[in-house]
């Protein structure tokens, strides 16, 4: 499954050693010849539960191979919803810890493993995946692109939607050549060469888009007095 990581920006970063990703198969830590790692839930109910012991052995084995302490993140729909500040925090964790992304399957993991070995539980969205692997790849991708050298232009992650440099707003719209496409022209201001006017326009568009597409983000956006004024004006427009 993790073959997907070897493409594009992430693939290049792995090849250049800007980050390292390894994986361990929990079945290698099973204590029976059938390599069983799950069992029926106590109290009954559908599905199977992953046993604590093989997972604990795997996590301890990973720790024994590393000089930094583990930071174990269990990917689960019950975790804290991952947002950009959480991604930044995980990136910063990497300087002192190994991130161990624990991917569950089946109905879940024995609660005692979560209580004793997991440092945080992380969800990538309010929907249920059939396993944590895709969620782990989402985390790896989002964290990796913040690492120095992974994106060609070191400032491009800063301008992203949600980023703090972008004040927690969505990104402004982008255009490239040609100037006219199927009768639609690039906004004049972007051709003006007036950098101040361009900045103002982009800022306004970021506000307008966020108001239209993700108004919830405005509650926690860090806005200047001028931006609040623009927003009030835009909200006024909407109510007309
Ligand atoms: N595993 C299953 N569903 C998940 C989700 N939404 N986020 C993270 N891990 C998961």
In this structure, the answer to whether residues 184 and 106 fall within a common structural domain is no
Largest distance between two CA atoms of the chain: 71
Give the span between the Cα atoms of 206 and 186, in whole angstroms.
Answer: 16
pLDDT of residue 58: 98
Does a structural domain hold residue 156? no
Contact 155, 23 (CB under 8 A): no
User: Which residue among 122, 132, 134 is best mutated to probe the pocket of ligand 1, counting the most ligand atoms within 8 A of its Cβ?
Assistant: 132
In this structure, the answer to whether residues 8 and 116 fall within a common structural domain is yes
Q: 3: phi > 0 → left, psi -120 to 50 → alpha, else beta; which?
A: alpha
In this structure, the answer to whether residues 13 and 109 fall within a common structural domain is yes
Domain closes at, from 79, 111, 144:
144
What is the chain's mean pLDDT, rounded? 94
pLDDT-derived band at 160, boundaries 50, 70, 90: confident
User: Which residue among 1, 50, 73, 75 is best mutated to probe the pocket of ligand 1, counting the most ligand atoms within 8 A of its Cβ?
Assistant: 75
Residue percentage of the chain with pLDDT more than 70: 97
pLDDT 10s digits, 8-48:
999 999 999 999 999 999 999 999 999 999 999 999 999 99
Does a structural domain hold residue 154? no
């Amino acid at each position: 499954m993790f073959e997907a990581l070897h493409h594009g920006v992430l693939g290049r970063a792995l090849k250049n050693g800007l980050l390292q990703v390894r994986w361990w198969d929990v079945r290698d830590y099973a204590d029976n010849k059938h390599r069983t790692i799950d069992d029926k839930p106590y109290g009954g109910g559908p599905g199977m539960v992953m046993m604590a012991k093989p997972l604990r052995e795997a996590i301890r084995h990973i720790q024994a191979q590393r000089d930094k302490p583990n930071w174990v993140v269990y990917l689960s729909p019950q975790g804290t919803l991952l947002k950009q500040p959480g991604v930044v925090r995980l990136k910063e964790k990497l300087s002192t810890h190994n991130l161990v992304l624990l991917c569950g399957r089946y109905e879940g993991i024995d609660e005692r493993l979560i209580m004793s070995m997991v440092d945080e539980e992380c969800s990538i969205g309010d929907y249920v995946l059939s396993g944590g692997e895709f969620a782990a790849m989402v985390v790896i991708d989002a964290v990796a692109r913040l690492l120095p050298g992974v994106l060609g232009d070191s400032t491009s992650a800063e301008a992203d939607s949600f980023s703090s440099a972008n004040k927690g707003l969505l990104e402004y719209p982008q255009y490239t050549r040609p100037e006219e496409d199927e009768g639609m022209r690039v906004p004049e201001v972007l051709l003006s060469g007036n950098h101040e006017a361009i900045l103002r326009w982009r800022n306004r568009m970021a506000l307008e888009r966020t108001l239209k597409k993700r108004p919830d983000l405005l509650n926690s956006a860090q806005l200047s007095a001028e931006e609040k004024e623009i927003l009030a004006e835009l909200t006024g427009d909407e109510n007309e």
